[in-house]
Amino acid sequence: MREESHRGIALSKRPWILLLSTTLASSLVPFLSSSVSVALPAIAESVSISISKANWVNNSFLIPLAASVLIAGRIGDWWGRGRVYLLGLLMFVASSALILVPSNDFHLLLLTRAFQGISGAFVTSVAVSLLSEAFPPNMRGRVIGINTMAVYVGLSLGPMLGGALTSFLGWRSIFLFSLVISALSLSLALRSVDIGRGSMNPPKAPESAVFLASTALIATGTSLMAIPVAGAGLVALGTAAFIALLLFEKRRGALIHPALLRPRLVMSYSAAMLNYSATFALTVLLSLYLENMKGMTPFEAGMVLTIQPVIQAALSPVAGFMAEKVDPSMIATIGMGIISYGIFSLIPVISINRISLLYASLALLGIGFALFASPNTTAVVSLTPREAYASSLAFLATMRYFGQALSTSVIISVESLISSIESSIFVSLEIYVTLSIIGTILSYLARKR
């Protein structure tokens, strides 16, 4: 069955094949972040660098991803979402193949990872908008739920599969795996995506340059919080540039569609940012607790921490289905409220040092994440003009990446001020609870009135 074309926007000839393609692609981006994190010691030894320097192998992927996702989405609304998606997958195949070439050049590895980050931006910026166009509105919540499930499957599989591949086949085998998955996703996309042009004007170079610079400054600054003056200075400069751009775009809309700055959409974007700010680095905190205070091995800690993403992956399609029946912002609000309670419950759990209660807290967080993530995305899609789907979802992704950076910077800042691991964990959790409560309020304000 062929979907009806709308103003030249690329629609799907075979929506279920497209869903399989986007499911594979959407799981690959978080997988390439979480799996490489496990492989950093092996990478450091392979190219003869320190562990701290090896962290830039991940940063060189995440910073270009965060900086270019909105621009990639706007290019999709102009040049064609199907074209951007196919180009992103082709770039993924090429970047994975380049990393497989034996070389001990650290700077070449960083450049290739940056190329891979841009590839991820092209894929993730348009994947959900393609699904929203390919399926009827009464199925939109379910397919977004499946896509959200794929993201968290990739995130949860990363440490386990990445560790196994690195241990038995070497760290480059992670990128052989990504080459195979991206090539398979590309072959499915070629069978299911029509090539068409979008309906919006192209993004303008000056505004795009300011956005790239501001997001890169913020992301780099949060990575340098161990050097407070440099890190805080870069974050402040990037934030000022970003706010100035938003004020300019509210009047001109050269890069960001003016409809994306409506109050309810802004509330949904902000809730997503605060959700990631409050939760992204919880894995790091809980790993510290399990390994340093409970004496677990990294593998044992990783198995405990899979409780949350497994529950989230299982429930995300259900939450997506629920979002089709009632106001998705209300479901997202309930989810964010459960997350707030789940984070708060970690404080007494760690205080009394009861591992069995930690399982319950992780299960709560998994339920909350599932109820928030896909309904929040569904709410954003329902509030967005059709011609700006890719731009809107790319802006949502940008807010998520901002949240990830903020979440990480909280830990870096707290640990630089407090030497005790236990005390730094409690202070960080208190900050995360506060952020999640604010996110709950913003999600509630985004509801239908």
Non-local CB neighbours of 99 within 8 Å, separated by 6+ positions:
109, 112, 113, 116, 172, 175
pLDDT the model gives residue 198? 57
Instruction: Give pLDDT tens digits for 377-428.
Output: 889 988 888 777 777 888 888 888 778 777 777 776 787 777 787 888 899 9
CATH of domain 8-201: 1.20.1250.20
Cβ 186 vs Cβ 86: under 8 Å: yes
Nearest to 163 by CA among 308, 307, 299, 25: 299
The amino acid sitting at 29 is: V
pLDDT the model gives residue 10? 43
Which portions of the chain are predicted below pLDDT 50?
1-11
Non-local CB neighbours of 25 within 8 Å, separated by 6+ positions:
85, 88, 89, 92, 123, 124, 127, 182, 185, 189
CA distances from 331 to 153, 370, 433, 435 (A): 21, 10, 19, 19
Q: How far apart are CA 357 and CA 71, in angstroms?
A: 44
pLDDT the model gives residue 8? 37
Its pTM stands at 0.75
Q: How far apart are CA 382 and CA 140, in angstroms?
A: 10
Helix axes 15-47, 106-134, angle to 10 degrees: 170
Specify the CATH number for 262-449; select among 3.90.1150.10, 3.20.20.20, 1.20.1250.20, 1.10.1060.10.
1.20.1250.20
Nearest to 268 by CA among 443, 135, 147: 443
Q: Which two tokens stand for residue 150?
A: 């794929």
pLDDT the model gives residue 5? 43
Burial string for 81-118 (b: 16+ CB within 10 Å, else e) reads bbbbbbbbbbbbbebbbbbeeeeeebeebeebbbbbbb
pLDDT the model gives residue 9? 40
